[in-house]
Amino acid sequence: MSQTEIPASAVAITLPDGSVRNYDGPLSGADLAADIGPGLAKAALVVRVNGELWDLSRAIKADAQVAIVTNKDEEGLELLRHDAAHVMAEAVKELYPEDQVTIGPAIEDGFFYDFARPEPFTPDDLEKIEARMREIVTRDEEITREVWDRDKAIEWFKSQGEHYKAEIIEGLPDTEVITLYRQGNFVDLCRGPHLPSTGKLGSSFKLMKLAGAYWRGDHRNEMLQRIYGTAWRNDKELKAYLTRLEEAEKRDHRRLGKEMDLFHFQEEAAGMAFWHPKGWVFYRLLETYVRMRLDRAGYVEVKTPQLVDRTLWEQSGHWEKFREYMYTTEFEDRVFALKPMNCPGHVQIFRQKLTSYRELPLRMAEFGSCHRYEPSGALHGLMRVRGFVQDDAHIFCTEDQITSETERFCELLLDIYKDFGFDDVKIKFADRPEVRAGEDAVWDR
């Protein structure tokens, strides 16, 4: 058939291998998978249309580049975890109807969901919830996508006592399409996509632990109850993951710290380590090594105050951006804050002397004692604390020295890691964080 003979409603589908399939009219992702073959139809989870993931049931109404996603794909695994969160929410609502659901994303190795309820969950609750999840999977409930009017969706969630969901919708842009997903009697707000049915989740999941979490991550908001779980493609992957966790537990620094009498934590100083004699020996050796490397690299060491008047933090921009993470105290009608970082102090030292550009670069280092308020649920041994010493440094240089100084610093950093046996280091570059100090014009440069 020539191009001019193709009906106006015809749809041409380009597959990943470059082949093109022509259809007389719109078709769903499920239809496409079935046309390609019964094996793919059975394995299909969602479909990627022009780079965007869609539910299998959505109609493809125009020419598009399309790929069928199965659980062999990373996107497929993430989808399984996302749906596991929804199945868990359905299980909780069946067992505890008065609980409110909030958000439940897929995360690395698993998923979580936050619930609003008066009392924390218990380990017994976890067992009941996981058992109910398996019942829901066995039911193989169809999962359907529904587009709702914004106001009606808000009104409906409020009528169900789901005020967090209503708040989420109220905060979405006016242009956002409001989609709800229905599985059995459970309806949840979600952009999707989702599996075609709960049975596609399979049984290779496990609920792992409980934690507290503030609504929208803000400690000024209500404390919610979070359930973490893990989900995998098959039982072999699940078992391998659980084995890795067991091995990691044996090497957990919190456990080793206690067994080797190196340090401990206690509630009276949550997030702040008590270093024991043996542990402090290791600490001082490490500090001595880092100090030696900094000296060799041309850094000068300084020491700045821990308690600083709020006016300095206002000048630096930290008061506006990071106030909620700072410990403060007030006396003699002045507000002081324990420093959460060393930057403003180093700038003050630099400003005390008019430095010629010929004296640059100036590499300034400090083993600065810092304090930051971290939510109790985020604390994790020595990895996430409230009180710590930051082997910090700032380089004052001319603009044409930035590249060479950055290269020099990166070489130093990687060399230090290498001395401790870390040869394969992954670096994540934060170009322009959402919460930041300084004008955009400076960042643009």
pLDDT band at 218 (very low <50, low <70, confident <90, very high): confident
Q: Is the pLDDT of residue 1 over 60?
A: no
| DSSP secondary structure code for residue 47 in this structure | E
What CA dihedral angle connects 428, 432, 438 and 444, to 10 degrees? 120
Over residues 56-105, the pLDDT tens digits come to 999 999 999 999 999 889 899 999 999 999 999 999 999 999 999 999 99
pLDDT band at 353 (very low <50, low <70, confident <90, very high): confident
Q: What is the mean pLDDT of the chain?
A: 91
| Assigned fold of 263-444 | BirA Bifunctional Protein; domain 2 (3.30.930)
Per-residue pLDDT averaged across 181-193, rounded?
A: 95
C-alpha distances (whole Å) from 257 to each of 249, 260, 277, 285, 417 are 13, 5, 12, 17, 21
pLDDT band at 3 (very low <50, low <70, confident <90, very high): very low
Query: Closest Cα to residue 83, out of 215, 234, 212, 229?
Result: 229
CB 387 within 8 A of CB 369: yes
More reliable by pLDDT, 212 or 68: 68
Q: Is the pLDDT of residue 6 over 70?
A: no
| DSSP secondary structure code for residue 304 in this structure | -
What CA dihedral angle connects 32, 33, 34 and 38, to 10 degrees? 160
**What does the pLDDT read at residue 354?**
65
Over residues 227-269, the pLDDT tens digits come to 999 999 999 999 999 999 999 888 899 999 999 999 999 989 9
pLDDT band at 41 (very low <50, low <70, confident <90, very high): very high
Quick one: 75-250 is in which CATH superfamily? Threonyl-trna Synthetase; Chain A, domain 2 (3.30.980.10)
Q: Tell me the CATH number of domain 11-70, given options 3.30.930.10, 3.40.630.30, 1.10.3470.10, 3.10.20.30.
A: 3.10.20.30
Q: Is the pLDDT of residue 4 over 60?
A: no
Per-residue pLDDT averaged across 193-198, rounded?
A: 96
Over residues 327-350, the pLDDT tens digits come to 999 988 899 999 999 999 999 999
Per-residue pLDDT averaged across 412-430, rounded?
A: 89
Radius of gyration of the chain (CA): 28
* Residues of the chain above pLDDT 70, percent: 97
Q: At 254, phi and psi to the nearest 5?
A: -65, -40
Over residues 152-168, the pLDDT tens digits come to 999 999 999 999 999 99
Over residues 115-148, the pLDDT tens digits come to 999 999 999 999 999 999 999 999 999 999 999 9
Q: Is the peptide bond before 277 cis (omega within 30 degrees of 0)?
A: no
Q: Is the pLDDT of residue 318 over 90?
A: no
Each domain of the chain, given as residue ranges in start order, spans 11-70, 75-250, 263-444
**What does the pLDDT read at residue 8?**
54
* Residues of the chain above pLDDT 90, percent: 78
In this structure, the number of other CB atoms found within 10 A of the CB of residue 95 comes to: 13
Query: Closest Cα to residue 359, out of 395, 392, 408?
Result: 395
Q: Is 386 exposed, middle or buried (0-12, 13-18, 19+ CB in 10 A)?
A: buried
Please report the DSSP string for 265-294 in residue order.
--GGGTT--EE-HHHHHHHHHHHHHHHHHH
Model-wide pTM > 0.75: no
Q: Is the pLDDT of residue 423 over 60?
A: yes
**What does the pLDDT read at residue 437?**
66
Helices (H), 297-367: 310-316, 318-322, 343-351
More reliable by pLDDT, 438 or 18: 18
d(CA 231, CA 110): 5
Q: Is the peptide bond before 361 cis (omega within 30 degrees of 0)?
A: yes
Over residues 376-397, the pLDDT tens digits come to 777 888 999 999 999 889 999 9
pLDDT band at 2 (very low <50, low <70, confident <90, very high): very low
* Residue written as token pair 């044996």: 250
